[in-house]
Structure 1
Amino acid sequence: MSFSFRRGRVGGAVAVFAAAAMLLTGCTGDERPAPADIADPLPEEVTERLQAASERAAAAAGAPGAIVGVWVPWAGEWVSGVGETEPGSGVQPSPEMTFRAATVTRSMTCDVLYAMDGGAVDLDDSLTEYVHSVPHLDEVTLVDLCDGVAGLRSSDSGNWNAMLSNPTREWSPREFAATGLGAGQGKVGVWAESDTSFFLLGLALENASRTTMRELYERYVAEPQGLHNTVLPNDQASAPGSEPLPGFYTSSSARENGCEEPPRDMTELSASIGYASSGVVSDVADLGSYVANVAASAGSGDDLAPRWARSVPLEDDGAQWMRAAGGNRLLGSMLGQQGKIFGYSTAAYSDIDTGLTVVVALNNSAAGGDLAGALARELAAIAFETPSEDRPETSLPWTADQAHQAVGDAAVCPIE
């Protein structure tokens, strides 16, 4: 497959920049405090439950530790490192440490798409306008890729062994796209977990703007929101930042033996493995601010903004409150993302209606986004119960006990 830059409607991108910046900085008239403005600590009895849940989930993931942030607008915040940075180190992770944000990157890729809409691209443009080597996808639009409903399968299984054996290799996005397309077509209009969609969307946005995704994230996401530790690194293999949380991976054979072997260090990685699907690096404060901004721009749970109004269920026969649209997952009224990249399992969610925000980074990718997402739901449910006269009269469609069970169900290492 060959991919080349296409000269797009670049001038229009500048015209929509200011509007996009206002959208993503949460200028919605909502008076809820941003995570950075919540300074009071949560009550001790609440933080003890949050700590215990995080420690259990880290053990379930085979992770030496975790970095967790919980911001409750009506009650306070808890931001902490849990466990240790690496097995036997005895060093508690610092909340200032950076890590790989995994599939939170997909939300940012869609931010770029919507910021460029009406300028260099239109949402309903065919993918083939910008990526000419996929003529059979002429009915797939850019917004289909963002929404995850293009009927494209993931590239993960096809490239897994090559990535695992050589994580420092520099990849081209077209290699992942080719592998995913080679896996065959799924059902158009049905949501699917597909990195292929975001590799193709990243290529289309780069070709339309003649600008790298690294620069597009900086222009349309990090700079407008003041996310100083959020970046798509260069392709050369490196740790995620100058003060990184070490990342690990427990092999399937080690899991079968009860996770008694030390996990493999995966801190050094080429961000090209993730690119526009899972390549961004960030920290807990940036991700908390970011996902709260996105949720604040989404309208209300009863009247979602157009980007999220056409959500579809993650599974037709599954819980209907688990949905997807706009590069995000919607868990009831909580909007965000969850997923993995070698070394890290990450989740970030914020409640559209209340501003309750949770970020989780486990430093082992073996359990993936299912476990990180389950922990995020457990922490959100615990935090939502924090007593206060300002506590909103709404509820989540799951309980802390149900999420606690989901963490156990997703466990890859012993926890009891």
Structure 2
Amino acid sequence: MRRTPSRRLLAAALLVASALASTAAFPAPAVQAAGTAAHHRADWPPHGLGSALTARLDSTIADVREQAGIPGVVVGLWMPGRGSYVRATGVADTATGRPMAADSFVRIGSETKTFTVTALLKLVDEHRIGLDDPISRYVRGVPNGRRITLRHLAEMRSGLFPYTSDPGFIQALLSDPQRYFSPRQSLAYGFRHANTSAPGKQFQYSNTNLVLLGLVIERVSGHKLADFIHQRVLRPAHLHRTLFPRGAEFPEPHPHGYTDQTLSGDTADATDWNPSWAWAAGAMISDLHDLRRWAKTVATGTLLSPGTQAQRLRTLPTGFPGTRYGLGIFETNGWIGHNGSIPGYETVTVYLPSQKATLVIMINTDSQRNGQEPSTVLARAITGIVTPDNVYDGSVVTR
């Protein structure tokens, strides 16, 4: 039976410096860095987790990959005092059999939200905006915008209808996946609908919220979101292989990405689909090395003041046991971070403060099996082995 596209599609699932270059869509070093993979690998801890545990992880990942129908997997696990584990298995291209590579770039989907909200919080630290400012102060035409605050948007508690759930949007995107959507065009699909709840009343994951925050950043900073994130987030965090594309550009090496979120329900190659529709909510690209660094940076708040980071980590219930959501970040059974899902790709980037452990997962499909995100199944299996008291379960975030 063919599955009809639903709101999972597109659950995908960004201060001011005088030197900002308005023409820089993304930094050249990020695109040219493919040849530096060996340097990045040399930065990874050289000691494994032991032969028995390594064999168990190898076997488990292979089983999940087969059962969930995942073409290729990259897993990085770093546990201070215990060792590390880095593996690339499966294929990056089902047509040629080219193997998955650990130094691949991938589309990170909703992990983009952690970058967008970090950029927003940089403006908070500079006292240029307040989290309790109404969105109507910065963006006109938002339903109930006088009552919805920037905090509500970052917490996923605005009550605004998610534009990716609009049937017209789904039809428009899947009819022409290379189409460019401006932020205002995307928002218009959501603003057709009545709000789903009063501001602050309940958690509802919605890309509408993050696109609005992206517009706030541009309005206050006076710069394009991609440029602002590059200068004020990526550079200070020393992320040289992370970028915010303007269109479908995708640096090499990268795996092909496969999705069944199509009008027919058949599997398609989504590698070159234009992610502009996701923009501040899910358009970015990164790699294993940068995501490893970012996991700790975003969880510990090294780019922000302690007070602002504390607000970010003030998580609230989502309605799903074991998972809470803060300002563009979640906590699930002790792990802090975010996952990402965009047609063709899924990622998980999380940090466990109690053990200073980092887990990064990158896969080249978002096709579900038995209603479960494949990256979540994989993260749950891995953490069930290495941190049985802290088993990851972040699937509720991008449903």
TM-score (norm 2): 0.80
- Equivalent-residue separation in structure 1 for 2:52 and 2:109 (angstroms): 31
1:229 aligns with 2:229: no
Give 1:294's aligned residue.
Answer: 298
Q: Deviations over 1:67-121 (max 9, x none)?
A: 1111111211112212111225332211111000111101111100111113432
The CA deviation string for residues 301-321 of structure 1, in whole angstroms up to 9 with x for no partner, is: xx9952244311221xx31x3
Aligned partners of 2:60, 2:277: CA distance in 1, in Å? 31
**Aligned match of 1:250 in 232, 253, 260?**
260
1:76-225 matched pairs, under 5 angstroms: 76-117=83-124, 118-134=126-142, 136-158=144-166, 159-187=169-197, 188-189=199-200, 190-225=202-237
Aligned-pair distance for 1:161? 2.4
Which digits, 9 at most, give the CA deviation of each residue in 1:198-223, with x for residues without a partner? 01111111111111111121122210
Q: Give the aligned residue type for 1:171.
A: F
Offset at 1:62?
3.2
Give me the CA root mean square deviation.
Answer: 2.8
| Unaligned runs of at least 5 residues, structure 1 | 1-11, 16-34, 256-260, 386-394, 408-416
Aligned match of 1:343: 344
SS at match of 1:374: helix
Query: What is the rounded CA distance, in whole Å, between the counterparts of 1:148 and 1:184 in structure 2?
Result: 16
Spell out, residue by residue over 1:175-230, the C-alpha distance to the aligned partner (whole angstroms, 9 max, x if none): 22121232321223211110010011111111111111111211222101111110
CA separation in 1, counterparts of 2:187 and 2:60?
37
Q: How many residues align structurally?
A: 348
AA partner of residue 377 (structure 2): A
Q: CA deviation at 1:38?
A: 2.7
The separation in 1 between residues aligned to 2:372 and 2:340, in whole angstroms, is 4
Contact 1:58–1:362 (CA under 8 A) maintained in structure 2: no
Q: Contact conserved, 1:339 with 1:370, CA < 8 A, in 2?
A: no
Matches of 2:246 and 2:261 in 1, distance apart? 27
Which residue is equivalent to 2:318?
314
Measure how far apart 1:348 and its partner are: 1.1
Aligned CA distance change for structure 1 residues 335 and 219 (closer, same or farther; 3 Å)? same
Aligned-residue identity in percent: 25
Asked whether the equivalents of residues 72 and 383 of structure 1 are also in contact (C-alpha less than 8 Å), the reply is: no
Counterpart residue identity of residue 380, structure 1: T
1:57 aligned to which of 51, 60, 64: 64
* Residues 254 and 358 (structure 1), Cα distance of their counterparts in 2 relative to 1, 3 Å cut: farther
- Say whether the 8 Å CA contact 1:295–1:335 is kept in structure 2: yes
C-alpha distance 36-326 of structure 1, shift in aligned 2 (>3 A): farther
Following the alignment from structure 2 to structure 1, what is the Cα–Cα distance between the partners of residues 256 and 324?
32
TM-score w.r.t. length of structure 1:
0.77
> Is the contact made by 1:63 and 1:248 (CA closer than 8 Å) also made in structure 2?
no
Show the counterpart of 2:34: none
User: Superposed, which structure 2 residues align to 1:319-338 within 5 Å?
Assistant: 319=321, 321-338=322-339
SS in 1 for 2:131: coil
Please give the alpha-carbon distance, in whole angstroms, between the structure 2 residues aligned to 1:55 and 1:156: 33
CA apart distance, 1:358: 0.9
Give 1:165 deviation, angstroms. Answer: 2.4
Q: Contact conserved, 1:287 with 1:348, CA < 8 A, in 2? A: yes
Task: Kindly provide the amino acid, as one letter, of the partner of residue 209 in structure 1.
Answer: S
Is the CA contact (8 Å cut-off) linking 1:65 and 1:85 kept in structure 2?
yes
Distance of aligned partners of 1:49 and 1:314 in 2 relative to their CA distance in 1, 3 Å threshold: farther
